[in-house]
Structure 1
Amino acid sequence: MSDAAARVADATGNWVDRSAPLWSRPYLRLSRFDRPIGSWLLLMPCWWSAALASGMAHDIHQLPKMIALFFIGAFVMRGAGCTWNDITDRDLDAKVERTRSRPIPAGQVTAKQAFAFLVLQALIGLVVLLQFNTFSIATGIASLGIVAAYPFMKRITYWPQSVLGLAFSWGALMGFAVVFGGIDATALLLYAGSICWVIAYDTLYAHQDTEDDALIGVKSTALLFGERTQAALALFYGLAVLLIGAALLLAGVRWPAWLGLAAFALHLVWQVARTDISDSALCLRLFKSNRDAGLLLFAGLLVDAIMRAA
């Protein structure tokens, strides 16, 4: 199969297609380095918690290190999670138009080769994790059970997005684990808010596959909500803002953090207003825009942390 024929259907024209060595392209596609949006979305709660916890501690000396290591860890571990997802879903992916060109169903790599690559990525992630304290290491490792279970949830529940939320929001706990060596109510509120955010944006993403999912028996909140999706997005995005706001209140933040939360909330309102579930391309664009929403909140938390540490 030529490389052009093997490109993933919804990720063409990226740097992997244009510039990466041919031998590396299937592995980079397994890790979704051709579509880094998921890594950014995994990273956002990590950066939020790093900035919020540093502001609460009135000490930002660890913050640059956390920002850098969380960045590496998010990209590597999202790659590992996607590789695991592709291994477990290889038969389902072959039946869905958008995913049948992924590396395993397309025959670019075998499941054994993909698993070896998964192990390599996990080891890199472990090296990153070992740079932190013992509690942080244990907290990071504790997330692996959720990550391992997630690909199977779409087979048994219409709420796989909630399990993804548990996994993708884990970083909301990590900043507190690093800074304080523990997890408090503020961290848990931030985590809960992030879970609601993930449920909403991944529902948008799932609307790309509703027809194929219904045919092959795969479940999702997109199928569950259907025509009520816009109202469901408003509910979960609203809960996200309220819960994150409660975390900020408990943390005693200053005005930059509240400004960041307001910008985050306005972005989510814009998404809900724009949503049209009949337009798959629009759903994908709105899903991707959540990186910008997350960065707006992070910017406010970062400025707040710097001000409080001064």
Structure 2
Amino acid sequence: MIYLLLSILSSTVIFVVFRLYKKYGVNTLQAIIVNYFIACIVGFFGYIESVDDLVRIPSESWFLGTVFLGAMFITVFNLAAITTQRSGLSVVSVATKMSVAIPVFFGIFIYNESLGFLKVTGIILALAAVYLSSIKTKKGISIKKENLIFPLLVFVGSGIIDTTINYLENFYVSETDVGLFSSSIFGIAGIIGTTILIGQAVLGKLKITWKNIAGGIALGIPNYFSIYFLVMALRSPGFENSVIFTLNHVGIVLASTILGIVLFKEVLLKKNWIGIALAVISIILVASSQ
């Protein structure tokens, strides 16, 4: 369970960093791309034993999977940015967090994981908790019909990322390669993202500042460990993957909401408090199901 708790902690730090981006006017795209390279470096220098490890990356069975994941990271980020502009931050938050349903579905129906009353009830309450905790307006969320495709793509894309990481971790990544695997994902995402910056530079729209670089460094370290510790948590004996993903997502919602109150003086609506209560209950039920 320690790896799961560390993954939740790392992801919650990411939430805090993103909130600070808004306060200090950090360019999110630039910071995100810098963050990918920082996360890659953290993994390479913290978990590789020799240069030979770097040389063998393209020949690894999981390499093409990391290329796919790197591309998905950038794609989902841009879709999330479009969704935020057209429908608001709450819609992105709901779409991203509700995507836990996809890896949970695969865990239960594809990997034949258990499906008991406590677990089903806990998962349903977890999804309700995610929704209620993410809504920051009394009217709830409102999406125009022509914009519906974008949050749907964010939902599917985020779910595909988690499911792919789970699949590769189950069948291709050895325990000694977890650090190398995680670093490779971020490195490829950074390379793809750089092509976007090059395009902006050609169009004369690129202006790199030190605060954007600093923002990327601040994000890169917890971002790397959020993936690394999640993969390690999925390897924990005694807990099924569908349980790990549910507890991870709900734990992040709970922790980030509490930090929002403590650090940023957020005022919660009644539905947010109900979401927190459901999150606690869902964690108890899902954990008890094991």
Question: TM-score, with normalisation over the residues of structure 1?
Answer: 0.33
Greater RCO, CA 8 A, separation 6+: 2
- Please identify which structure carries the higher helix content: 2
